[in-house]
Amino acid sequence: MVRLHVNVDHVATVRQARRERFPCPIEWALGCESAGADGITCHLRKDRRHIQDADVRELRSRIRTLLNLECSLDSEMVALALESGAEAFCLVPETRQEITTEGGLDVRGERARLAQVLPLFAERGGVVSLFIDADREQLAAAADSGAPFVELHTGRYAIARGDERQRELERLQAAASFARSRGLRVNAGHGLDYDNVAPIARLEGVEELNIGYAIVAHALFVGVDAAVAQMRAAIAKATRNSKSSGGIP
C-alpha cells in the first residue's frame, strides 16, 4: 500500500498562535503513529511560524517511525537539517510571504546549490526528495542532480475542478511515469484531502503521500485516531481498486 506520512505542522500552528505549550505536535505525532501513520513529516521554516527547532529534536527522539524533515536550501536550514537526526529530507522552495509552500523547487535554477548540499545529506545517510511541479524539464534536472526521490506537487490538482482536475491528474501521471523512466522514485503531496486523495493514491509508481492540514482539520471533529485511520482507509481502498482495474486512475 502507498505509505502515509502525516505532516504535523498545523498542530504547531495552533500552539504558536498563542505561544503556548499546547497542543503539542510531538504528542499528536505519537497519536498518528498509534493510528497507523507510516511516518511523520514536519517543515522547519526560517521564520519558525509553526515547527520549532526543539520540536524537530524531540520528534526524532520520541517517534518510532521515519521522520521526514522539509526544509529550504537556505544555508542555516540545511545546517539544522543535517544535525536533526532525521532520516529523510524534502527540499522545498520557501518565501516569507506565502501561506503555505507555493509551487515546486526550481531544480534547474538551483543546480549549483543542490550540487553542494545533496552530498552532505548522503554522507549522513539521509534520503532526499525534491519537491517539484509535474514539469518534464524539472524532472530531468532532478534526475541529473542525483537525488533519489521527487515529491510531486499536487496543489494544482487539489484546487482544480471538473475537466481541469482530470487534466492535472493526467499531468501528474505522465510526470510520475517520466520520473521513474529516469530512475527517480516518486512521492506526492500538497493539498490532498479525503475527497481528492484516491486518484493520487492510484497513480502508478507513487510510493508515499504526505498529508497534513486535512487530517489535522478533520481531527478537530473526530479525533486523531479516526482522522488518520480514515485517511489510511481511503488510500488502501484506492490502491485495491487500482489493482483490480489494472492500475487505471
70 in catalytic set: yes
Task: Confirm whether 153 is a catalytic residue.
Answer: no
Q: 141, 111 in Cβ contact below 8 A?
A: yes
DSSP structural state of residue 93: -
- Reply yes or no on whether 218 is catalytic: no
Active-site entry in 5, 10, 43, 50: 43
Give the Cα separation of 170 and 10 in Å (integer). Answer: 30
Strand, helix or coil for residue 150: strand
Buried b (16+ CB within 10 A) or exposed e, 165-195: beebbebbbebbebbbeeebbbbbbbbbeee
Backbone angles phi, psi at 132, to 5 degrees: -140, 160
Catalytic residue among 33, 50, 70, 94: 70
Q: Which three cell numbers stand for residue 20?
A: 503556548
CA distance 35 to 225: 5
> Can you point out the beta strands (E) in 133-177?
149-153
Spatial neighbors of 160 by CB under 8 A, at least 6 apart, are 167, 168
Which active-site residues does the annotation give?
Answer: 43, 70, 190
